[in-house]
Structure 1
């Protein structure tokens, strides 16, 4: 990793595309809507995240300063909610030393001060991006032309927040994964898709 003014051309490895019919354990990391949310596979980030906090919390980390940021640059950014550092990509440079970043392991975006954005060390580039874009299978908005109501987004957040879930991949293409999510309870597995289908603003459709 350079400390000078050289242009940083590095890129994160792309997120894995899961095969149709595969199953994996996930956490839902960010929700925009039932057909636009992000999950992480369990077990990939813990050690790296611990080391990243140690490295970027150091008082003598002057070499990590990002002096000449540019759109598309890989970085580490300090999330405003919890103060921790996460892998990110700069999406937009703004006046007053502000930047828009995309957190590549979680799927969310944020506007932060440039001083909260740091150079990323090579050792934190090894693991591919972990945010997998998904949409729930077999459900649609009750009025598709009006899009998803916020009640559906909130219900998905409530049903998935902080819970390890089983994810079955019904299909995958360049835009993401079509999935069914299950909460594994002692008495039975509960389909998150079916929970949302019970809402007045959502209608279930027959599986293809």
Structure 2
């Protein structure tokens, strides 16, 4: 096959790949909004109906619910990464130096808590026990490790431990909010939670 006949095939392949990626992103966005509105028990049938397509088409793009869970987790991480980069730049510009450990940890924990608070349904979906959850937490740990200052020893180990701690704490905090607690003993606000988590983790880091 010569270059003349090869080029159209390559062009069609590229267009098809682009179309497939766009369609996958569209379905993921529909799923995110549906889960945000209706909670983590949304089914693949629900997503198909909201997309105006069949369940078999949805399964072409996401082979199962765990695949959808991983895809949503990656999307959340992309947003968190962009937010953290912006915050690090703003901090450095404001104080005229590289952000220190406390500032970095505070920004990372706040980004995580705000993600959970902004869409509890999506957060609950992504953090359901499964391989998808393991993938999400491992990816968050890698992200955290890249933002830790160079002075932190064994950053990967610290990041994995910190993420597990924060994930468990946020899960408990959200459950307390959802259980409609006694108004005389309200749960922590998101700002209070972040400050407590940073304090606990930084004490451990400096021990």
Q: What TM-score comes out, normalization by structure 1 length?
A: 0.32
Higher relative contact order, structure no. (Cα contacts within 8 Å, ≥ 6 residues apart): 1
> 1 or 2, which has the higher helix percentage?
2
Considering fraction of residues, name the structure with more strand. Answer: 1
| Greater Cα radius of gyration, structure 1 or 2 | 2
